[in-house]
A = this chain, B = another copy of it.
Amino acid sequence: QNESDERALIKVDKGISISKDSLFLMNIRFRMQNRFGIRTESGEDLSIEQTDFRVRRLRLRFDGYVLNPRMQYYIQLGFSKADLDLESGGYAQPIRDAMIYYFFDKNFYVGFGQGKLPGNRERVVSSGNLQFADRSIANGVFTLDRDFGFFGYYTLPTKGRANYQLKGAINTGEGRNPSPGDGGLSYTTRFEYLPFGTFLNSGDYSEGDLEFEPRPKLSIGVTYNYNDEAVRARGQLGSSLYEARDLQVYIADAMFKYMGWAVMAEYFKRTTTDPFTHSDAGDIRVVWVGTGNNLHLSRMISRKSEL
C-alpha cells in the first residue's frame, strides 16, 4: 500500500509493527535519502566546480491507533538539516506531522494537529513515492505545504464507478510549528473527481504507474485557499512580511494513468490585493504572487524498471 500523508497506515509491509488485542497498534518506520551531486566547471573542463553531498532526508515515522481502530495517529519527525528547516528558518523544527484522526466510517474522517494541507497533488505525494529526488520548482513557490489545525476528508457515496472526494481544512495560516498569538486563520477546500473510479493501490497519490492500470484512470482536483492576515511571503512558508496580507491560492491538478503511462499536471495561482509590504524604515518585502505550472510524464517499462 502506498504511504499517504493524509492518514495513518494500518498495514505496513516494512518496519516494526506491534499490536495488542486490537486495542493498540504502533508502526515504527524510517526513511533515509542520501544525496550525491556534482557540477563540473564546464562540459570541457571536468574539474569540480561545486558538490552537493548530504543526508537530504532522514525521517522517523510512528503511526497506528489507540483504544480503537477508529482513533488513529500519525507522527513524523525529521532530523536532517533540510528537514529541520535550518536553512531557511532560524531554529530546529523536528516535527513534520503530528496528527490525530477519527474515522466515522471509511468515507468520512477528521483530523486535528499538524499535517499536510489538501493542496496540490505533488506535495501530498509522500517523498518515498516521488520519481525525482525533489519536487518541482512550481511546487516550492506555490504549495500550501503543512499547517496546524483541523482537517476533514469525505468521500461522497455514489452508486456508479465515479468517485467524488471533498477535503477541507481550517488552520493557523502560518505553516509548521507556528508560535501562538497570530490572528487570521487559513481556510482550504479541495474537490477531487475520479470519473473512472479509484486507482489501484491509491495510485492517484503516487508518481509513476507502478500498478500498470489495466483500464485508464483519471483524477482531477481543484483547491481554493484563503489565508486571512498571512504574515509570510508564501503563506505557510517564506520569510516574514512587514504587514499582514490576505492571500488567495487557486490550484487545479490532474493525474492520469494507464498501462504504465502516468501524466501529472498542476496549475497554480496566488493573488493578494497589494503584494508590497513596507517597514517603518521604508524597506519592502513582497508576497510571492503569480501563476505556475508543473507537468510530469512517465512510462514504466516493466514492474522493475522505469524510463
Contact = CB atoms under 8 A, between A and B. Distances in A.
Interface of A: 14-16, 18, 24, 26, 28, 30, 32, 34, 36-37, 48-55, 58, 62, 66, 73, 75, 77, 79-81, 84, 86-87, 91-95, 98, 100, 112-114, 148-150, 171-172, 177-185
A90 to B, nearest CB: 8
Contacts of A26: 15-16, 28
Contact of A54 (B58, B73, B180): B180
Contact of A51 (B48, B94, B182): B182
Contacts of A48: 183-185
A264 B30 CA distance: 37
Contacts of A28: 16, 26, 28
The 6 A-B residue pairs whose C-beta atoms are closest, nearest first, are A52-B180, A92-B92, A34-B113, A53-B172, A55-B98, A53-B148
The A contact surface, by secondary structure, is: strand
Nearest to A93: B81
A211 B105 CA distance: 33
Contacts of A94: 79, 84, 94
A51 B95 contact: no
A180 B37 contact: yes
A75 B32 contact: yes
A148 B55 contact: yes
A45 to B, nearest CB: 13
Given A16-B26, A51-B182, A80-B95, A34 B177 contact: no
B75 A77 contact: no
12 contacts: A15-B24, A16-B16, A51-B185, A53-B172, A54-B148, A55-B95, A55-B113, A58-B98, A81-B91, A81-B93, A84-B94, A87-B179
B79 A183 contact: no
Given A91-B86, A114-B55, A171-B53, A30 B182 contact: no
Contact of A84 (B34, B54, B92, B100): B92
Contacts of A81: 91, 93, 95, 177, 179
A172 B75 contact: no
Contacts of A113: 32, 34, 55
B183 A51 contact: yes
A16 B14 CA distance: 16
